[in-house]
A and B are shown apart, each in its own frame.
Chain A
Amino acid sequence: MKTKSIFFSATFFLIAMTSYAQNKASNYIGFSAGVSTPLGDFSKTGTGSLNNWNNNSGFAKTGFAFGVEGAYYFLPKLGLAGTLYYSNHGGFSKADASKLGDSYTDAFGVDESTVKTSGSYSSINAMLGPQLSFPINKLTIDVRALGGIIQSLSTPEMTVQLEDNTSTLLKQKSSTASAFGWQVGAGLRYAMTSKLGLMFRADYFNSDGIKIKNENRSNNAGRMVTKQPMSWINASVGLVFSLGEK
């Protein structure tokens, strides 16, 4: 509910700002890459405590994102923006695996548990939505609110062996599920020539989560992630190519 409110408020804000438009923004396509920093539950590394396990913390790491984006202006300052970005946020570190192991040892009251981890958070998101732009000489300030789909390509995997029991290994599987996501952000474009420019952006992305499958959970005990919330902020730089006449 909160995320929807933010999304729609940002959309109305952008539409309202069009009344201040003075110059026409140009259509463009751009390519950018940068640092992607996980936020909220996605970045948390807590496992919880007995019978109050944290099933949302994602253990995501600061990673990277790159992709393509563009905008088509149907009003002088208001256009439809689209983005297609790949993101990677790492996986479980050795310290994470140790912390998870401690939690399963406690959760099942066993002498020891062996945790094996692999893989990383890897995803593509495709977004579409309104973008408001303010050209000031060679600079253009962009603000936008987008909605769309996040498609997970992989998530970290984990296998937990309780003591010497190899017949029922607890498994958190890699997910290739998709989910709704939204994004708000701002950017600055600097025109080096009439066709080529530089782009600097900061974008916040949020999704309530993709489904995570688990295997061999015979008894309800310990942390079990069934849906992984995702949120991050991207800081990126790139090149933009203006399309058509300004």
Chain B
Amino acid sequence: MIIFSCNKDEQVVAPTISNEALTTVQLQLVNVADGTDKPTAQWEQLLDNNGNPLPVDVSEANLNLKANATYTAKLVLLDKTQSPVFNVSDEIKERANYHLFFYQPLPTDQPLVIPNNYPTDQNDIYPEPIPTPIPAGSNLNLSIVITDHDNNSQQYPLGLETKFTTAAASSGWLRIVLRHQPNVKNGTYAPGSTDLDVGFNVKIQ
């Protein structure tokens, strides 16, 4: 008996089975020179019982930093729709090879890391609590360097761990965007889609 195996062309579409919700973003900083200086801030948008988003809660989205200081920072993402609360940061870390966080201090006179086309695009508004458009004023004297990396053959930054460096006293906002870049991550903002877009008030004093 001879069995001839078929080798005809096949095509299938495989949809995803489940997705986590990103409800809560926490910034946890530690002053390198003063371990007791541990500022935190939280941005949150929970869901109602039907899975619809509730108003954004920015009551704790306030980051107070000391001038001329350096902080190590950790970004914690939580899914509070699950019980117990699911730590999405761990999931992002496992999927680091196609995720990339971008940090945008505002106002700035430097080219934007995270593009914004307002007012050309009236729908391109900043996430709460950042005003659109950004009011004219002095720069926020904050620079951020990503310190963790993915496991790609050519390593790219990830952004769950960062170093915040402040200069003179100033105030403004910090926008954080998580880009999902499946098989197109190349260190730039453009490829892929946005998984997360949040904002924080920042005061350096």
Cβ contact within 8 Å between A108 and B7: no
Kindly state whether residue B33 has any CB partner on chain A within 8 Å: no
B155 CB → nearest A CB, Å:
10
Taken together as a complex, chains A and B put the C-alpha atoms of A104 and B151 apart, in Å, by 18
Kindly state whether residue B149 has any CB partner on chain A within 8 Å: no
Kindly state whether residue B40 has any CB partner on chain A within 8 Å: no
Chain B neighbourhood of A89, CB < 8 A: 5
Cβ contact within 8 Å between A113 and B14: yes
Cβ contact within 8 Å between A219 and B182: yes
Cβ contact within 8 Å between A101 and B2: no
A45 CB → nearest B CB, Å:
14
Residues facing B in A123-167 (CB within 8 A) are 156, 162-163, 165, 167
**Taking chain A's interface residues, is the majority helix, strand, or loop, or is none over half, making it mixed?**
mixed
Q: Could you list 27 A-B pairs, sorted by A, with CB under 8 Å?
A: A35-B1, A50-B95, A51-B94, A63-B5, A88-B5, A92-B10, A97-B12, A101-B13, A101-B14, A102-B17, A105-B14, A108-B98, A109-B16, A110-B16, A112-B14, A114-B13, A116-B9, A117-B11, A162-B183, A165-B182, A165-B183, A167-B184, A219-B97, A219-B150, A220-B97, A220-B153, A221-B183
Interface size band for B: 20 to 34
Cβ contact within 8 Å between A217 and B183: yes
Kindly state whether residue A69 has any CB partner on chain B within 8 Å: no
Question: How many residues from A make CB contacts under 8 Å with B?
Answer: 51
Residues 52-84 of A, flagged 1 when their CB comes within 8 A of B and 0 if not, give: 000000000111100000000000000000000
Which of B7, B15, B150 is A119 in contact with, Cβ under 8 Å? B7
Chain A neighbourhood of B183, CB < 8 A: 108, 162, 165, 168, 170, 216-219, 221
Cβ contact within 8 Å between B2 and A113: no
A108-B98, A118-B7 given; 12 more Cβ-contact pairs under 8 Å: A34-B2, A35-B2, A90-B5, A97-B10, A109-B180, A111-B16, A114-B14, A115-B13, A116-B9, A118-B8, A220-B97, A220-B152
Cβ contact within 8 Å between A109 and B95: yes
Q: Chain A: which residue is nearest B5 at the CB level?
A: A90
B170 CB → nearest A CB, Å:
37
Kindly state whether residue B136 has any CB partner on chain A within 8 Å: no
Cβ contact within 8 Å between A115 and B7: no
Kindly state whether residue A94 has any CB partner on chain B within 8 Å: yes
Cβ contact within 8 Å between B12 and A105: no
Most buried by B among A98, A108, A109, A167: A109
Kindly state whether residue A41 has any CB partner on chain B within 8 Å: no
Residues 204-224 of A, flagged 1 when their CB comes within 8 A of B and 0 if not, give: 000000000000111111000
Q: Chain B: which residue is nearest A112 at the CB level?
A: B15
Q: Chain A: which residue is nearest B182 at the CB level?
A: A108
Residues facing A in B1-40 (CB within 8 A) are 1-17
Kindly state whether residue B72 has any CB partner on chain A within 8 Å: no
Taken together as a complex, chains A and B put the C-alpha atoms of A88 and B5 apart, in Å, by 8
Q: Chain B: which residue is nearest A99 at the CB level?
A: B14
List the 4 shortest-distance A-B pairs measured between CB atoms, nearest first.
A101-B14, A90-B5, A120-B7, A108-B182
Q: Chain A: which residue is nearest B20 at the CB level?
A: A109
Which of A63, A112, A116, A220 is B3 in contact with, Cβ under 8 Å? A63
Which of B14, B98, B150, B186 is A98 in contact with, Cβ under 8 Å? B14
Kindly state whether residue B185 has any CB partner on chain A within 8 Å: yes
A153 CB → nearest B CB, Å:
12
Chain B neighbourhood of A115, CB < 8 A: 10-14
B101 CB → nearest A CB, Å:
15
Cβ contact within 8 Å between A105 and B7: no
Cβ contact within 8 Å between A168 and B98: no
Kindly state whether residue A203 has any CB partner on chain B within 8 Å: no
A109-B95, A221-B95 as given contacts; A64 in contact with B13, CB under 8 Å: no
Q: Chain B: which residue is nearest A98 at the CB level?
A: B12
